[in-house]
Structure 1
């Protein structure tokens, strides 16, 4: 694939207060998928307003579209300029498209809308960000509020401090434009929806229509590690087989990350995540009553609780009391400690260790 990037460029006549940036690219999938040979398009566009030298505000759309490919059942999307234009612009499929692509948008299109505020002090940088996921038009129209990832990040210029970086994230993906979607169509795409029926809801993040392998790469979810492919909870998932759908995309989570240097010498990173997992509108909840088709808030939902943690870092090794083995070589001992405890995954503890030799 390829990716063209546009670094921030000041918009004329704004006195360097308004900037534009973005990206444009196309890629090919290489794993075994329900739609074999699917292609991926990306369009990113962002605007940055800088009222002063220290403060900035960003609004960005990061959009992805999965299209093309052919399924084992013979369903195929032709690669041509017409379909490519519809993917880039987020339009419906033409008359030759599948029913799903004709009533929604062509392919599987989603991404995130990001709003960010950043303040850069003399030694500290503070960042606040709201990241809204979407997987169809209702999400792009903010009908899935309050879903999103809310982030607070604090970073110090001195990375040798015991604590130089801190991040807190609050994840919420429960609503998905609501649990009711009464939209109906016949086999020709003609609407059978009764007047006054709610036609947005049950967004089902990370997959749509014919693209049942979802946003995965060799079975691993791309973009959000807390959204899970089918088979994780039952222990049947493996990256060696074709993934079909997701089993968990409705969850509430808190994530904390801390980074710094031990004794001002050895870098480390600590990450802790607590999640309350509720399955999906498509495959149903893990526990209790299914909220799909019922008014929002009328079902008392129960989820599977999970805590995951990791502590990773590097110990800079001395040779003969010297910082480097030689004037052009440095040796580091890499380590990692990992743990899962809860009802979603099997309880586990893991350890990694390695050596890294750098030449410069």
Structure 2
């Protein structure tokens, strides 16, 4: 028998044996806008499946088998394939997700591109996490994750979860087309993530504290100011340095940094769950180096020939200013408005306005000017032009000078979100962000730039008893006003359908 026919038959056999948990999803979306771009909240936090162009759209189809559909088994598996054909996007064919999951008890391994939700934040109302947000396309990677594991001998009061991954970015061609030789770009860049979280307390009142970190490393850098091409280390040591934040970049010289572009966040959340309401208070403090990670940096070097030697116990301390602070209130018995989010984001400090390396005549070592989401070698914390963290940082895709840089990373912002379910099947959300941007330390705006971005969105899921069962329709209005994003107004319409390969699929999954 022909090999292709054999493979197809095998795949069909797998699908037929898992129809009770396999879901088919199709969706089409159209966006029409007036202004310079589509409004911020019509394109942000869509896992990168969006466009800043005024008019755009896509056709999307996917098949998913969730590994968690049968929690009674120790070994479980799942998969997902999610593809879109788009117009006026960064690419016409978008492989949004393509992954396989393997679970054993509380351990999961994921291979491929998969949309990972934010930690501690509401997925549709929050402005976004600062390190691992939902604003950019997923990166293909091998990821290991441990679900909440209760620490022995703590009577259930302490639990731990964590994850780690290695992968490679996929925007090489886009970077080359976007820069057009005007700015540095990277190819075959490796990607690393890791995170760990501790949870304390009983079920109704808990406190979580976590550390999450990411790194871009390896690959080839083109059009750098000091060299036309830089080949970074791609061997085992580079992967180890990404894990441990050690090593040094080839361009560092005497002023050593950890190899690659390391970023991360300290995150915390207090959760109070009561019969009629739930309150969550959370914080997300971003960092690029020790000045904001531990707020202390060594500053006790010698002088002269001993300028790079540690000679005394002397340190420089940095303030606690930059952070995302948020609160979420859920009202369980009031469907008309049952979820409220308010967030305040401040990023102006960044370790202070001074960076000074030690010299033979001046031993002061001050590591300010962190320049969030940017890097002196790599193209910064972005993928396909969209920042991989919070979209209130102005993504490089907005730049008209062909540079892959975040040009507004010093700002303050207030963000508000409300959602509700006033009728069966009807869901809405409202978002408002008020922002004042100051540019960067290296390119300060002559005058601060203000911005207001708003979204009004409503979605209706047809009931299971109707002839339109499985269909949903969603409409949204978005608006930007101000000097930062420009004046934009847009409409967005989404129509989709979910189908189970077996009529009992939904019931069997539950």
Give TM-score, length-normalised by structure 2: 0.60
* Shift in alpha-carbon separation, 1:347–1:82, aligned structure 2, 3 A: same
Residue 292 of structure 1 corresponds to: none
Secondary structure of 1:43's match?
Answer: strand
Separation of aligned partners in 2, 1:163 and 1:15: 37
1:164-213: per-residue Cα shift (whole Å, max 9, x none)? 111000000000011111225xxxxxx45713x351211111122311x2
Separation of aligned partners in 2, 1:208 and 1:286: 20
For 1:65-84, list aligned pairs within 5 A: 65-72=215-222, 73-84=228-239
Residue 39 of structure 1 corresponds to: 190
Separation of aligned partners in 1, 2:254 and 2:451: 36
**1:123 aligned to which of 276, 279, 295:** 276
**2:400 aligned to which of 225, 236, 241:** 236
* Shift in alpha-carbon separation, 1:229–1:358, aligned structure 2, 3 A: closer
Matched, 1:286 2:286: no
Separation of aligned partners in 2, 1:10 and 1:41: 26
Residue 223 of structure 1 corresponds to: 389
**2:435 aligned to which of 246, 254, 275:** 275
* Shift in alpha-carbon separation, 1:236–1:144, aligned structure 2, 3 A: farther
Residue 210 of structure 2 corresponds to: 60
Separation of aligned partners in 1, 2:144 and 2:421: 35
Residue 409 of structure 2 corresponds to: 249
Residue 188 of structure 1 corresponds to: none
1:199-234: per-residue Cα shift (whole Å, max 9, x none)? 1211111122311x21111111111101124573xx
**1:181 aligned to which of 346, 355, 359:** 355
Residue 455 of structure 2 corresponds to: 310
Structure 1 position 37, deviation (Å) = 0.8
Secondary structure of 1:84's match?
Answer: helix
* Shift in alpha-carbon separation, 1:352–1:309, aligned structure 2, 3 A: same
Structure 1 position 303, deviation (Å) = 1.4
Matched, 1:325 2:484: no
Separation of aligned partners in 2, 1:82 and 1:201: 28
Structure 1 position 86, deviation (Å) = 1.3
Structure 1 position 14, deviation (Å) = 1.8
Separation of aligned partners in 1, 2:273 and 2:361: 52
* Shift in alpha-carbon separation, 1:134–1:42, aligned structure 2, 3 A: same
Is this contact kept in 2: 1:337–1:352, CA < 8 A? yes
| Aligned residues between the structures | 322
Residue 135 of structure 1 corresponds to: 288
Separation of aligned partners in 2, 1:149 and 1:331: 37
List alignment gaps of at least 5 residues for structure 2: 1-140, 176-184, 223-227, 296-317, 501-510
Separation of aligned partners in 2, 1:207 and 1:356: 37
Separation of aligned partners in 2, 1:101 and 1:111: 25
Q: Give the root-mean-square deviation of aligned CA atoms.
A: 2.2
* Shift in alpha-carbon separation, 1:22–1:224, aligned structure 2, 3 A: same
**1:4 aligned to which of 144, 161, 174:** 144
Is this contact kept in 2: 1:101–1:209, CA < 8 A? no
- Bigger relative contact order (CA 8 A; separation at least 6): 2
Residue 30 of structure 2 corresponds to: none
1:60-82: per-residue Cα shift (whole Å, max 9, x none)? 00100110011222211121121
Structure 1 position 144, deviation (Å) = 5.2
Structure 1 position 275, deviation (Å) = 0.2
Separation of aligned partners in 1, 2:448 and 2:254: 32
Matched, 1:105 2:258: yes
